[in-house]
Structure 1
């Protein structure tokens, strides 16, 4: 779903000293600002689909895990430099990112992105379109005739549409559905859904293949017994793509 566009800084960090795969405590890095995938609840704790999923994967892999939050725009560099051991943050598997990190298999299938606007007839082809910085949505807009207006987090994308600063916004549909429902009619979906990305996976340092394999096996076990589909329906909605 979301896909960070890698810069030279992240590539340079790929040569950093990595931690061994056999940590006594595995640190899971997430953004904490992308509901329903991950967010910070009223108790100040990481919550959402990926919190529940990550805890279950750690249990199946027989690992002790703790959660770490990190801003989206530096989430890959801080993985590579050793601030945490894995990323589980609504992150799309892309060829560009596979040059720097090692992914598990996807734990959600590819899910559509959607435009939202104040009205259904806004110009998404040539207008001003908001998206979160460093995402596949921002990259898509940059390839169209529209003017890209970037923001550091998805809530600001929604706010720009509601305020009229942007004609429309583009983000994961799973994220936008509750935002549209809660907008009181201030936002509607515009145009057709757009298939972007190759599904969400966990990301690891390329020097940690054993740790990656443990989580990959745990994801496969959840696919095999149906619990992953149940979790997707519960947290992402009955209409969200499943396995």
Structure 2
């Protein structure tokens, strides 16, 4: 009897592993928000979230594929079933939790900063300020004296600052650091960073509890064994 019970347990275990390996999980990302995610010279999704996502899929046994989607429709298309998860530098917020669920965070919340042309002073922070639409930065600006102008992509937002269409832009500090470094001194940070983010996690449909639990366990393991910190250090200095 004991041998029979052990045999059944092993069979169940093997069956669970096989099911995980057979399941294809489609991960949606923007592909336009380095260092979180971007399209490399080979036309492939790259960045911190690609490396982390591939490692999580390896650990869970899922067969993962990557899908790019515009930011404005990234949550609706998840809910509609066009992919199964979102890894797109998405901050965990109460408003988003009303539409989707999140894993535990895989990155602490980044500060947000104002970007402006060289020579600008802090008055631009209450002028005409750009933000990417449907972000924590656009929500923050909506409650300030600034005149908010929303753009569909971070590139469009930065271009508006560079061309003088807006006084400043508010975005993730890590993203803006690369923008400033590549600007040759033309773009600068203005004012102090703002702490308005609670952390970044993987977005999932609210009904996908088993998928969330599997990814949660894998994220926790990477956090505990130090692998996650190595990735964060690599991509975010």
Q: Check whether TM > 0.5.
A: yes
The root-mean-square deviation of aligned C-alpha atoms, in Å, is 1.3
- CA deviation string 1:74-113 (max 9, x = no partner): 0011001100000011001011111111110000011100
Cα distance in 2 for residues equivalent to 1:153 and 1:170: 13
Describe how 1:29-44 pairs up with structure 2 within 5 A: 29-44=28-43
User: d(CA) in 1 for partners of 2:123 and 2:235?
Assistant: 32
Contact 1:120–1:191 (Cα < 8 Å) also in 2: no
Partner of 1:8: none
For 1:196-215, what aligned pairs fall within 5 Å after superposition?
Answer: 196-215=196-215
Give the CA deviation at 1:126.
Answer: 2.6
Q: Secondary structure at the match of 1:29?
A: strand
Partner of 1:164: 164
- Distance in structure 1 (CA, Å) of the matches to 2:171 and 2:155: 10
Give the Cα–Cα distance (whole angstroms) in 2 for the partners of residues 228 and 125 of structure 1.
35
Q: CA deviation at 1:183?
A: 0.4
Structure 2 gaps of 5+ residues are 1-18
Partner of 2:231: 231
Within 5 Å, which residues of 2 pair with 1:1-243? 24-118=23-117, 119-237=119-237
8 Å contact from structure 2 (residues 28, 68) kept in 1: yes
SS of aligned partner of 1:28: strand
Query: Shift in Å at residue 168 of structure 1?
Result: 0.7
Aligned residues: 217
Higher helix share: 2
Q: What is the distance in 2 between the residues matched to 1:37 and 1:228?
A: 14
Q: CA deviation at 1:125?
A: 4.0
CA distance in structure 2 between the aligned counterparts of 1:49 and 1:216, rounded to whole angstroms: 17
Give distance in 2, aligned partners of 1:124 and 1:227. 40
Q: What is the rounded CA distance, in whole Å, between the counterparts of 1:59 and 1:125 in structure 2?
A: 44
- TM-score of the superposed pair, with normalisation by structure 2: 0.89
Larger Rg: 2
Q: Partner residue of 2:14?
A: none
DSSP-derived class of the 1:200 partner:
coil
Q: 1:36 and 1:125, CA in 2 relative to 1: closer, same or farther beyond 3 A? A: closer
Distance, in Å, in 1 between the alignment partners of 2:53 and 2:125 is 38
Could you list the structure 1 runs, at least 4 aligned residues long, displaced by more than 6 angstroms after superposition.
none
Instruction: Output the CA distance in 1 between the equivalents of 2:165 and 2:157.
Output: 10
Deviations 1:47-81 (A, max 9, x none): 01100010001011111100011110000110011
Instruction: Describe the SS at the equivalent of 2:144.
Output: coil
